[in-house]
Chain A
Amino acid sequence: MKIKLTEARYAYLFLIPTFLVIIIFAFFPITSTFWWSVHELKDKILWTGMPFVGFENYAWAFTNSQVWGSLGYTLYFVALSVTLEFWIGIGMALAMFHTFKLKGVLRAIVIVPWAVPAIIQASMWRWMFHPNVGIISDILVKLGVISAPLNFLGASLLAMHSVILADVWKTSSFMAILLFAGLAAIPQDIYDSAKVDGARGWFRFRHITLPMMLPIILVALLFRTMDAFRVFDLVYGLTGGGPGTTTEVLSTFSYKYYFSYHNFGKGSALAIVTFLILVAISLFYIRSLQKRLKFK
C-alpha cells in the first residue's frame, strides 16, 4: 500500500538531510564547544577527568590583556576594513556603471580579487610585503615616499595596517559587485527625472542614488561586518598574529589556544565569545532581513 503524505509531511521529509547535517556538524559542535568552555581542559588532563570550572575561563578571558588586545584589534580591523572597502567599493561600482564602453571588461576584472581565496591572498601579499624584495616597498622608494624598504609585517603598527590593506584588496571587490547590482537596480526613469528636475552630479548622488541604494548598502555592510569578524585565513597566512600578538584576531587567537597551546578550555571560551558577538550582529541582520522576506 502506498502511503499518502500531506504537503507538510513532504516538506519535513525534504528538510531531513539538511537538518541532519547541520545538527551533527554545527549545532552539536557548538554545544560541545560551550560545554568545554566551562571546564578545565588542557593536554595534561585526560578528557575523561576534566574538572568543571564554571565561568572561570571566561573570567580569565575578560581579565587577560592579550585577549583584550586581540578583541581590540579585531574591532579595529572590522571598522577600518569595512569603512575602506565600502568607499573603494562604491567608487568602483560607480566607475563600472558610468564607463559605458568598458563596462563589460571592468565588471570581469573587478570580480577577480573576490575569487582569490583568502589564504592565497595572504601568500600573495606576504610576498609583496617582503622586507627585502617586496614590490610595495620598492615602488614607494622609487616614488620617493620612503627612503629605504619597510618591513611591513615586522613592526606592530605597520603590520596592523598592512593586514587591513591586504584585506581591503579582496573585499572591496565584493563590495563593488554588490553595490553595482544595487546601482543597476535603480530605475532609469528616476535618474532621468532627477536630471530634468535640475539635480546635477553630487546633489543627484547624495539625494537620489545613495538613498535609493540604502537597503543594499545596509545588507552589504552587515554581511561584510560579520565576515570581517570571522577573519582567520588572512591573518594566519600573513602575520600569524605577529609581531608578538599585535595582529592577533579572535579566531587566530583561539586557534592558537587549541592547536599550539592545547588549552582547549580557554580556546573554547574564546571561540564562544567570538560566536556570541556574531550572534548579536546576525540577530540584527536577520531582523532587517525578515522585514523584506518575500516568502509569504
Chain B
Amino acid sequence: MVSLSYRQKRLLSQTIMYAVAAIIMIYCLFPIAWIFITSIKPPGAEFHIPIEYIPSKVSLDNYIEIFVEHKFHYYLLNSLVVASATTILVLAIGSLSAYAIARLRFKFRISSLLTILVVGMMPSIVMILPIFLIIRELGLMNTWLGLIITHAVFSLPITVWLLASYFAELPFDLEDAAKIDGYTPSSIYRKIIMPLSVPGLFSAGILAFIASWGEFMFALTLTHTIQARTALVLITTLPGAYHLKWGMINAGVILTLIPIIVIVLVFQKWVMRGLTAGAVKY
C-alpha cells in the first residue's frame, strides 16, 4: 500500500467528488439532451443507422411540423390556461383553509388538517371513474373548467400543508396586536397574513403549476379534442398513429419541457423550499 500524504489524500477525495459531480450532471441531463438532439435532426433522420450523436444536418422541420400539422400551440395554450387557473384557484381557497388551521383556535384543527392531507395520499385511480361521471353530468367534459377543478382537488392538500406550515412560522404577536387594534380574522388574513406570505404563496403556487402542467390521467380521460386537450396528452397519443414520427414527438417533448424547466431553474430557491418545507420542518 502506498501511503499518501494528507495533501494528496485531500486532493484525491476532492477529485473523486468532482468526478461524481460530473457523472451526476450527465445522468440528469443526458436524456433531455438526447431528446433535443433527436428533435433537431431532419424528419426521418432519427432512424438512420449508425446513430448520429452529433447531427450532421440540423433542421427545425420537426418543430414546424408539430405546429403546422397538429396545431401544437393550441395544446400548449390549453396546458397554460389550465395550469395557471388551477394555481390561482388552489391558492385562493387553500390559503383560507391554511390560515384557519395554522392561526385560528377551533376544535377540529388537527382533524381537519389530517382530513385534507389524506386526500393528497389517495391514488387517482380510485377517483377517476366517479369524477369522469360527475364532470360529464356537469357538462364540463372536454372543457378547461372541468380539468381545472379536478387538478385543484389534487393540488389542494399539498398547498394547504405548505401554507399552513408557512403561516405557523409568522410571529403570533402580529396577530394579537391586530386583534387588540380591532381587526377581525378576515381582515387580519387580508391585511397582515397575505402580504407577509408572498414567498410561501409563491412556493406553493409553483408546485401547483408544475403538478397541473404534468398531470396526465385526468387530462387524458376528461379531454378529447384540441379544445381542451393538454400538450403532454397529445404527445402521448401521437406514437400510436405516427410511430415513425419520433423526431416530431421529441420536438413536442422539448416544447412541453421548456416552460417548466425555465420555471424550475429561475425559481429554484422557491421550488426547493416548497419541496422540503413539509419534510424538513414540521
**Interface positions of A (Cβ within 8 A of B):** 5, 7-8, 10-12, 14-15, 17-19, 21-22, 24-26, 28-30, 32-33, 36, 91-92, 95, 98-99, 102, 105-120, 122-128, 130, 132-133, 135, 138, 169, 173-174, 177-178, 181-182, 185, 216, 219-220, 223, 226, 229-230, 232-233, 236-237, 250-251, 254-255, 258-259, 264, 267-268, 271-272, 274-275, 278-279, 281-282, 285-286, 289-290, 292-295
Once A125-B31, A271-B125 are accepted as A-B contacts, the answer to whether A115 and B107 lie under 8 Å apart by CB is no
- The CA of A262 and the CA of B211, in the complex, are separated in Å by 29
With A17-B97, A130-B246 in contact, do A112 and B123 touch (Cβ < 8 Å)?
no
> What are the 9 tightest A-B residue pairs by CB atom distance, in nearest-first order?
A117-B214, A29-B130, A181-B276, A8-B106, A14-B100, A17-B93, A282-B121, A11-B100, A11-B104
B282, A292: Cβ atoms closer than 8 Å: yes
Nearest chain-B residue to A264 (Cβ)?
A: B129
Contact A138 B51 (CB under 8 A): yes
Q: B34, B149, B186, B264: which contacts A128 (Cβ < 8 A)? A: B34
| Contacts known (A30-B126, A133-B47); A18 close to B93, Cβ less than 8 A | yes
With both chains docked as a complex, state the minimum distance between the C-beta of A22 and any C-beta of chain B, in angstroms.
Answer: 5
Nearest-CB residue, chain B, relative to A130: B246
Is B49 on the interface with A (CB-CB < 8 A)? yes
Interface of A, secondary structure class, is helix
Flag if B116 contacts A22 (CB, 8 Å): yes
A271 CA to B127 CA, complexed, in Å:
8
CA distance A5 to B51 in the complex (A): 71
How many angstroms between the C-alpha atoms of A116 and B239 in the bound complex?
Answer: 19
In this assembly, does B118 line the interface, its C-beta being within 8 Å of a C-beta of chain A?
Answer: yes
Summarize B's interface: helix, strand, loop or mixed.
Answer: helix
Instruction: Tell me the complex Cα distance, A254–B47, Å.
Output: 35
User: What residues of chain B lie closer than 8 Å to A25, measured between beta carbons?
Assistant: 127, 131, 134, 149-150, 153
Q: Which of B13-21, B56-64, B70-78 contacts A (4 or more CB under 8 A)?
A: B13-21
- Give bound CA distance, A254 to B126, whole Å: 9
Report the separation of the CA atoms of residues A236 and B256 in the bound assembly, to the nearest whole angstrom: 19
Is residue B197 contacting chain A, with contact meaning CB distance below 8 A? no
> B236 an interface residue at 8 Å Cβ cutoff?
yes
User: Given A116-B257, A295-B110, A226 and B121 touching (CB < 8 A)?
Assistant: yes
Q: Given A11-B106, A230-B125, A107–B268 Cβ distance below 8 Å?
A: yes
Q: Assess the B216–A119 pair: CB atoms within 8 A.
A: yes
Q: Which residues on B sit within 8 Å (CB–CB) of A220? A: 279
Expressed in whole angstroms, the minimum distance between the Cβ of B103 and any Cβ of chain A is: 9
B146 CB to nearest A CB, Å: 11
In the complex, residue of chain B having the shortest beta-carbon distance to the beta carbon of A103: B21
